[in-house]
Structure 1
Amino acid sequence: MRSKIFSSKNITTAFKSKPWLPLFIAVGFVFAFPVAELVMLGQWQHLHYTAGQMEILYENLWRDGFVLTGMVMAMAAAFINGTSSFVYLYSRRKADFYHSLPLTRKQIFLQQAFAGVIFYIVPYVVMEFLAVCIGASRGFFSLGLMGMAVKLMIFHLLDYFLIYFCTVFVLSMTGNILMGILCFFGVLFYFPAISLILNGYSETFYSHHYYLQNGIPGILYHYFSPLFVQDRFLEIYGNGEAGIILFLGLLLVGVIFAVAAFLAFEKRPLEKAGHALVYSWSEPVVRFMVVIPAGLGIGLFAYVAPTGGHGVTWAVVGSVFGMVMLHGILETFYHFDFRCFFYKKLHLIVSFIAVAAVAFVFKTDLTGYETYIPDYEKIKNIAFEFYDINGNEVIPYICETEEGKFETKNAKENGPGTFITIEKTPEMYEILEKIVREEPLKERQDGCYLPVRFETASGRRIYRRYTIKRSQCRELMEEVHKDSDYIAWKYGFLDVGEKYKNSFTLAGGAMEDEFIKKSEKAEFLENLRKDLKDVDAKTFTELPCSLLYYDYSMLPSTEKPDQLIPGKEPQISYNGSVYLYPGFKRTVAFLKERGYSLFEGIADLEYADVYYTRENKEDGMQDTVTVRYEEKQQLKELEQAIVPQFLMPDWVERENIDVEMIYASEGFSYGNYPQYGGMGYLMKEKVPDFILEDSVKVQEGLLESNIPLE
């Protein structure tokens, strides 16, 4: 009998019963491979790419483009194949007829699965071969491309099996179309939704939570959904990594669904056709799987939505109401009777307890998430994101290859985001321990964000985002700058050859930015190189005297598909900004000698507008009160405290008060005002007493804006 199942006669019979199915799949793969290829080749020729560039783009088409188009078509074919083969299970009459035939359920399952894979694989192979022939006719052919075509076929076949058996599993577990649709979407999106709920609770109750999905939520999101696991493996394949891991991962998930689908089909009670779920044990399982996460999600939304400080009350009310409604809807759906709305009250009570327990764990941090930090001996390396600390410094993630070309640093080397690995030291670990132990800052404006990634020797990655004080920021940045590799990366533009077109601009004490003259660039860069070798880590926590903008345009780039310019050599721009510090003795002396302006303090203000903030008790929003100071003595005190915003690093203590500086300028005006000066901050240790006194008056409502109306 097994030979008959896999016989050509059986395939012919299946084809005659569903001739539209292989035709649909064939048409789909025509568009996925040959048509897509011809369209892309036509576009490349129209844009006048060179032959070498088109070869790179064509290889990338097999590595990226065909992977996506083929995967979409494979998933569609699997879903339609599985549905058309097993949807008869929803009809009691058809199910009785099919299962009255002299075939075991195992034979029926294998017969349908085999016919389906033949309907899929034959059009796939023909159309993929046609795509290879089209490429060969245009001069794009190699054994490497043939190998990629074979890998692509295997990858898409595993995609097909994954979605096919997922579809059959859902059809075998459910008894009607509506429940089948709901459960199919549940299989695809349930665990990603759980991941989002867990991340939402972590974001709400854990001040040190890092927004990226990692750990258990990340695993649930990326690997516990037939749809999202393919997206993850698609990313891995596109990067050309871990082919065997890709194959084994998809194979394992496919085998799990295949076994589950076969067992669900073989043991399915036919008399349950038309019911919501055909297995009685699955009803409470689905009920708990739906009601508990829904209660958590609704409770979280109700907790964060109100602004009056009654989040817990609203969370309890929202969770209870949502869970009762969902529980009742499911019971009504199970039994097709509204009178069953309040059935299984014990299950509902258990769901209440489960939701309360999970919320309590997050609210009280029973897991110790907030205070956890790996032991120093177990840490392999520590990495940081400096986007908030280095707010005015822009460091490009570009590196030079061995061939002398430049390329964007691959983000996957440092994991999610733009983490920079720093050499760990006991002093650095001690600073992080102190940050973890202390009560976190409630307001970001009182400090800065510091995302941290700990990587253990076992390969585990632990992400946290701390809100640290400015004093802690200073200590940490001093320790970070002891790492010579970090400084080399930060000032990496010094290693770019001077033969490339470049420009350097200083933003310091002058009203306008100043370009460093072409004849002085070489000496300026050489002085900066020498200073970086001599200074110690404390230098990098001083108050900067200038912000240096650099721009290397049109550097030779590696030939990556996304960097190709039609008919030209690939190029990339290398630009960013770094602070210059008073401790850079040679550089500072050189710039002063040549007449460039560096920041040494504010002077000669015409007036200053200070922006105070106070809370509006009616709506809870922040109101701004602007007070203008024009008295000479007040301006003199303000000049001692003001630092331009672009020269104020996050490790310098400052008041949370913005200042707009206005200079007098003869012969130039901006409307009815003198020349615009810029925005600044007030250093905490030098804030004038009258500013602090006026700040109190603003909070008490005793001082309002005094800006004259135009």
Structure 2
Amino acid sequence: MLSRISLFNREIVRQITRSVGWVGIVYLLGLVVALPLRLLMQVSSEYPNYQKYENLFQVDFPIQMLFILSVPILMAIFLFRFLHVKQPADLMHSLPMTRSRIFHQYTLTGAVLLVVPVILTMLIVLILYKVLDLNLYFGIDEIFYWGGVTVLISLVLFLAGVFVGMFTGITAVHGVLSYVFLVFPAGIVFLLVSSLGFFLLGFPDSYYLHTKIETYSPLTHAMVLESRVLSPGIATVYAILIGLLYAGSLFFYKKRQVEAVSQAIAFEKLTPVFKYGAAICFMLLGGIYFGNIGMKSSWWIFGYIAGSIIGYFIAEMVLQKTWRVFTNVKGYFIFVAVMLLSFAASQLIFNLYEKNIPELSEVKQVYFSDVPYHYANSEDFESELTFTLKEPENVKAVLDLHRSIVNTRSTKKESIFFAYELENGKKVVREYEVNRNDFDELLKPIRESTEYKNASNEIFLVDTEEVDKITITPRGMRTKNAVIADSKDIKEAITILKEDAKLETYEQMNHFAYINSDVELLLDNDKRIFFEWKRSYKQFEQWLDDKNLLAEASLLPEDINYILVADKQDLVPDPYIAFDDHTLLKKLEEEGKVLKIENKDEISSMITAAETHIDGAFIAAIYYHEKGNYEITSLKENKLPEFIKDHFDK
């Protein structure tokens, strides 16, 4: 009993509740509006929407996040505001109480004021669940999951806010630094990875940026709770983090001087960390911003210089509480010198990294693809495609390609991604932006290999017994399609498609013909698989013709009203700007700079030559008979029909 009295003072708890209790009330009202009230409105609607929720964060998720991500920080700010105002700070620290006792009373009371609203909201939802039979919408276990995760995230954010509050004497700085502190782990990883993608040849920045980088910060992780489950491992990390933040806050509170009131940084020794940390973060941000927009190394350098200057002097203004800081340049030049030395010293490491290509005997298997997304987040894809090669001759071919890329200067056009899994359990991951045409001879044996085709084409994953229906829709069509529903025909069609895919050449793989049709396989478990029927698949084309389905499965001249063709040079400087709108082409037509094609034979030649990749010398807008339907295509100069050449050569 004596220890409990010595730890908690009722008058102080009452005073805390009076001053910040309203924050807990706001939290309760916000959660009630976002969850139980929203569910009640949905159920009592005249036309109820029987939506099945995978988790309760999907119910008015933006409103929930508004309160979950803001109220805990507000609680920390208002709770410890006495540290930022001289009179309350002097009064509180003149009381006959130890700092430990003050800290425990304030922090634990604030935590209770955050947890109670979550528990009350849970109880309301549980009552609604029983009374209104809400099992149609979600399971009862989802209520406890929502409550547990909300409490965990709220306490992590609250304790992070408390921890940051120990380092500053200004309320506004407390609020800003709390969010900076929370987003810092994910933010600094993003900045460093993006910058290394510029400096290091082969560094797979897009791979690392797609490896759930948001989980590095509780703040960013909370923003994806609608679609991602909080794993037990991360929940454990957050629980440990709560304890560490609590202990760290208590430690620094004991060390903090009362005179730190109104100081941006309460500990003088930490001011260089704040100043140069801000300079580094702004430097990286500036480089990424200007570099990605300008797409030149000169813009990256400009961004680094501009960002570092802005970050350094903003930090100085905050610390000095004045804008007259531009004479304090000595520290900035020291920063620049340290950055240049660090960059020079890192060149040796960069060179070793760029030249590190494993030997054939070291490689267990290699993931080889155009993009890293599937490899980085394979559990998020329903596809069973592996893009993985194990046969020694294929692994050797990939290694030969990799060495050639490292030793060849190539223009940046397309991505090539390697992920080697070594015999010792380690990984070597690389990504390059190259012009694939420079490496056709090395790519050809890889992509034409049976192993690669089996690993990269979904048609080889299909079990004919599981397919209920095949639908083939010509490109650009909405209502026209060919349907194959007979089980015997389905088996024949898939067998022939697999045979055609096995015979496909590298050149055919790289021909993105517009005339190809889209194929949808409906499986017996309601899953759908999509791929293209390429017109190079001649066996399947003959089979469709034999079944009298070819006309319905193909794009024909009769389906098209007319086509407008324009020289890309007559379009805007960046032709990608207007490809979702036909207004510009119409304007060029009025000016006589566009060829309008209405003859069916010429339309047939056009759609055969057209490609989906918008990188040809000529642009074409195909207008269908279906009202309001048109698509933009491209024509390469070496595949132009003669009548188009004749028109534009005039």
Shift of residue 440 of structure 1? 5.0
Q: Is the 8 A contact 2:287 2:301 kept in 1?
A: yes
* Aligned-residue offset at 1:21: 3.7
Q: Which residue of 2 aligns with 1:400?
A: none
Shift of 1:435: 2.8
Structure 1 stretches lacking a partner, 5+ long = 389-396, 398-409, 508-512, 558-570, 600-607, 629-634, 663-668, 671-675, 695-702
Q: In the alignment, is the contact (CA less than 8 A) between 1:547 and 1:577 conserved in 2?
A: yes
Provide the secondary structure at the position in 2 that maps to 1:155: helix
User: Equivalents in 2 of 1:459, 1:66: separation in Å?
Assistant: 43
- Find the counterpart in structure 1 of residue 35 from structure 2: 33
Matches within 5 A, 1:123-272: 123-140=117-134, 145-205=139-199, 208=202, 210=204, 212=206, 214=208, 221-231=213-223, 234=225, 239-240=228-229, 242-243=231-232, 245-272=233-260
Residue by residue, what CA displacement relative to the aligned partner does 1:358-409 show, whole Å, maximum 9, x if unpaired?
6668999825555545555665654455689xxxxxxxx9xxxxxxxxxxxx
Measured after TM superposition, the shift of residue 187 of structure 1 is 1.2
Distance 2:501 2:222 in 1: 49
1:330 has 2:297 as partner: no
Alignment partner of 2:267: what SS? coil
Q: How far apart in 2 are the matches of 1:375 and 1:351?
A: 41
**1:130: Cα distance to partner?**
1.5
Q: Which residue in the other structure is 1:561 paired with?
A: none
Q: Which amino acid aligns with 1:33?
A: L
Alignment of 1:483-502 (within 5 A): 484=454, 486-487=456-457, 489=459, 492=462, 494-498=464-468, 500=469, 502=470
Q: Summarize deviations over 1:400-430 as a string: whole Å, max 9, x none.
A: xxxxxxxxxx965267999743343323322
* Higher normalized contact order (CA 8 Å, seq sep 6+, divided by chain length): 1
Give the match for residue 428 of structure 1. Answer: 394
Q: What's the secondary structure of 1:281's corresponding residue?
A: helix
1:350 pairs with 327, 334, 358, which one?
Answer: 334
User: Do structure 1's residue 118 and structure 2's residue 112 form an aligned pair?
Assistant: yes
Alpha-carbon deviation of 1:114? 1.6
Tell me how far 1:179 sits from its aligned partner. Answer: 2.8
In the TM superposition, residue 642 of structure 1 has moved relative to its aligned partner by 11
Single out whichever of 223-232 and 371-380 deviates more from structure 2: 371-380
TM-superposition CA deviations, 1:512-551 (whole Å, max 9, x none) = x9966869x7666444444467679454546489845334
Residues 1:484 and 1:181: Cα distance change in structure 2 (over 3 Å): closer
1:436-475 aligned within 5 A: 436-437=402-403, 438=405, 439=408, 441-444=410-413, 448-454=414-420, 458=425, 462=429, 464-467=431-434, 468-469=436-437, 470-475=440-445
Task: Decide which moves more: 535-544 or 101-110.
Answer: 535-544
Say if 1:229 and 1:181 are closer, same or farther in 2 by CA, change over 3 A: same
Tell me how far 1:357 sits from its aligned partner.
5.0
1:3 counterpart residue number: 4
Classify 1:516/1:291 alpha carbon distance in 2 versus 1 (closer, same or farther; 3 Å).
closer
Question: 2:222, 2:481 → 1: CA distance?
Answer: 51
1:99-125: CA deviation from partner (whole Å, max 9, x where unpaired):
111111111111111211222223322
Contact 1:658 1:680 in 2 (8 A): yes
Deviation, structure 1 residue 486? 4.7
Deviations 1:317-337 (A, max 9, x none): 665565445434433442346
Q: Distance in 1 between matches of 2:28 and 2:483?
A: 65
1:476 aligned residue: 446
- Tell me, in whole angstroms, the C-alpha distance in 2 between the residues paired with 1:306 and 1:363: 24
One-letter amino acid of the counterpart of residue 3, structure 1: R
Q: Residue type matched to 1:464 in 2?
A: E
Which residue does 1:504 correspond to in 2?
A: 472
1:92: how far off? 2.1
**Aligned positions of 1:525-564 closer than 5 A:** 525-531=490-496, 537-541=502-506, 543=508, 547-551=516-520
Cα distance 1:542–1:17, how it changes in 2: closer, same or farther (>3 A)? closer
- Compare 181-190 and 373-382 and name the one that shifted more: 373-382
Cα distance in 2 between the residues matched to 1:334 and 1:253: 29
CA-to-partner distance for each residue in 1:105-154, whole Å, 9 max, x for gaps? Answer: 11111111121122222332222112101110112469x94544334333
What is the rounded CA distance, in whole Å, between the counterparts of 2:235 and 2:308 in structure 1? 41
Tell me: CA distance 1:627–1:252, structure 2 relative to 1, closer, same or farther (3 Å).
same
Instruction: Tell me how far apart the structure 2 counterparts of residues 100 and 213 of structure 1 sit (CA, whole Å).
Output: 55
In the alignment, the residues of structure 2 paired with residue 161 and residue 659 of structure 1 have an alpha-carbon distance, to the nearest angstrom, of 56
> Could you list the per-position Cα deviations for residues 55-113 of structure 1 after superposition, in whole angstroms to 9, with x for gaps in the alignment?
xx26x353643887656534433223212221110122211211111111111111111
SS of equivalent residue, structure 1 residue 577: strand
Whole-angstrom distance in 2 between the partners of 1:107 and 1:332: 35
- Counterparts of 1:506 and 1:23 in 2: how far apart (Å)? 58
- Give the letter for the 2:431 counterpart: R
3-state DSSP class of the match of 1:331?
helix
Kept in 2: contact 1:175–1:275 (CA 8 A):
yes
Q: CA RMSD in A?
A: 5.4
Q: 1:506 to 1:594 in 2, by over 3 A?
A: farther
Unaligned 5+ residue runs, structure 2? 555-562, 577-587, 596-600, 626-630
Other-structure match for 2:273: 285
Q: Give the TM-score taking structure 1 as reference length.
A: 0.68
Tell me what 2:557 maps to.
Answer: none
Contact kept in structure 1, 2:57 and 2:64, CA below 8 Å:
no
Partner secondary structure for residue 97 of structure 1: helix
Q: Secondary structure at the match of 2:133?
A: coil
* Cα distance in 1 for residues equivalent to 2:60 and 2:570: 56
Deviations 1:616-645 (A, max 9, x none): 9xx8999x99999xxxxxx9xxx9x99634
Judge which range, 195-204 or 246-255, deviates more: 195-204
Q: 1:46 maps to which residue?
A: 47
Q: Name whichever structure is richer in helix by fraction.
A: 2
The 3-state SS of whatever aligns with 1:173 is coil
Match runs of 1:628-707 below 5 Å:
644-645=609-610, 657=617, 681=636, 705-706=648-649
User: In structure 2, how many angstroms separate the alpha carbons of the residues matched to 1:317 and 1:576?
Assistant: 44
Say whether the 8 Å CA contact 1:296–1:319 is kept in structure 2: yes
**CA separation of 1:276 and 1:39: change in aligned 2, threshold 3 A:** same
Taking only the aligned residue pairs, the percentage that are identical comes to 14
Equivalent in the alignment of 2:17: 15
Which amino acid in structure 2 is aligned with residue 504 of structure 1?
I
* 2:429 partner amino acid: I
Give TM-score, length-normalised by structure 2.
Answer: 0.73
